[in-house]
Structures are given as structure tokens and as C-alpha cells.
Amino acid sequence: MKNQRYENHTRYFAFHHFVITPLTLLFLGWTVGKMDFSSREVALEGAYLFIGAFVLFLLPLLARLYALKLQNRIILNEMRNRYYHLTGKSFDEKERQLKLGQIIGLRFASDEELPNLIDRAIADKLTSKEIKQQVKNWRGDYIRV
């Protein structure tokens, strides 16, 4: 597996991003293109098919959203645990001063640089991208959804 760093940390799940979502979008577009309003009966059939296609399009997006929300909760707990092990202090005070995106960015920092980077992120109001760019010793995540 390739060593992860800022430049290559974005992950794609091929089946989701390049198969299921495009196919459901294609089906939704095809459904819209085939809609016919020439008669009430045909229009209702088209509407039913559109509703089905729209729900089908939303399902993989909803599944992805659930996975990412759960992952964010896990990351937050991971960071609470890491911070406590590194400093012996609760993460609560720092957590209240950080946005979730910042915390997610901070998780890539090595144990040595994490406490100082947290303080810099709070003081300088760094974005998640800026935090990731400042990480010197990248701590890769090879199982992110």
C-alpha cells in the first residue's frame, strides 16, 4: 500500500463513486428524458417511475452519508482518547474551540506534533486543509470510508 500523505490522502471507493452513483444518476436522467405528458395515464406512470428513480439515486448517497457520520463520531472519540494519552488531560476544552473539520484534519498529525498543532489550529483558526498541509509526520488512515 502506498505511503499516505496530504497529496494522496483523498479516498475513493470505486464501486460507490464510479459504478453505483453514476448508474443511478444515469437511470434518473434516462427516466426524466423518457417522461411523457401526452396523457394523464402516461404522465402518472412517468411520475411513478421518476419517484422510484429519484429514491434509487438517493439510496447510495444516504448510505455514504451514514458511513461518514459514523466515521466522524469514531474520529472524534479517537482524538479524545489520543489527546488524553498524550497529555493526561481531557480533550473537552480544546474540542469546544475546534470545528469537527479541524479535528478530522488534526488526526493525521503524529503524536509528537499533535498537541502543538492543536494549539496553532485554535490560535490561528486554521482550516482542515491548512492543518493537513502543516503536518510534517503524516499518520495515514488506510481504512477510511
Instruction: Confirm if 116 and 82 have CB atoms less than 8 A apart.
Output: no
Rounded mean pLDDT for each run of 10 residues along the chain, 145 residues in total: 75 87 96 94 95 96 94 96 97 97 96 97 97 93 76
Q: How far is CA 130 from CA 96, 105, 138, in A?
A: 19, 8, 14
Per-residue model confidence (pLDDT) at position 105: 96
Which residues lie below 8 Å from residue 104, measured CB to CB, with a gap of 6+? 72, 75, 128
Per-residue model confidence (pLDDT) at position 6: 78
Task: Spell out the domain ranges in the chain.
Answer: 13-134
Per-residue model confidence (pLDDT) at position 1: 59
What pTM value is reported for the model?
A: 0.81
**Which of the 8 DSSP states describes residue 52?**
H
| Torsion angles phi and psi, residue 49, rounded to 5 | -65, -40
